[in-house]
Amino acid sequence: MPTEETTVGRDTSKEETDRRDWNPISIEIRFDCRYFVKRAKNNEAARKSRKLRKERETNAKNENDLLKIQLADLRQQLKNKTDECNNVMKERDYYKTEVQRLQTQYDQQRHPFRDLTNQLKYDGNQF
């Protein structure tokens, strides 16, 4: 006859199941000092792991918030520089057209000194 310890939690029927048989920890092992030491170490490791994960998540959140602020600042700087660049380009275009206008005016202008001398019927002895 099987002992109670081996039959507890085991499937004694002949049916096949997809899950594994449950194997309880024997009472002797459970109350063994090594088991408690092992559990204490595992609990401490789990606590440490949760603490480190929480710190990583907090640091990542803080860094994310900082980067969002920096991104907003950089976008504002980009907008300001784009506006400044557009203003400079408009000013350049204005001066470009002004230079063209003055060049055209100069090209169409009569030569005043030549015209003056021709008008006076330049005589080499007068000057």
Measure the CA–CA gap between 34 and 11, rounded to whole angstroms: 29
In a domain, 51, yes or no: yes
In a domain, 124, yes or no: no
In a domain, 56, yes or no: yes
Counting the structural domains of the chain, the total is 1
Radius of gyration for the alpha carbons in the chain, expressed in angstroms and rounded = 47
Q: Which residue has the higher pLDDT, 36 or 119?
A: 36
Pick the closest to residue 8 from 31, 32, 24 (CA basis): 24
Give the model confidence (pLDDT) of 10-53 as tens digits: 555 555 555 666 666 666 655 677 888 888 999 999 999 999 99
In a domain, 127, yes or no: no
Give the model confidence (pLDDT) of 49-106 as tens digits: 999 999 999 999 999 999 999 999 999 999 999 999 999 999 999 999 999 998 888 8
In a domain, 95, yes or no: yes
In a domain, 46, yes or no: yes
In a domain, 84, yes or no: yes
pTM for the whole structure? 0.48
Domain with 98, as residue range(s), is 23-108
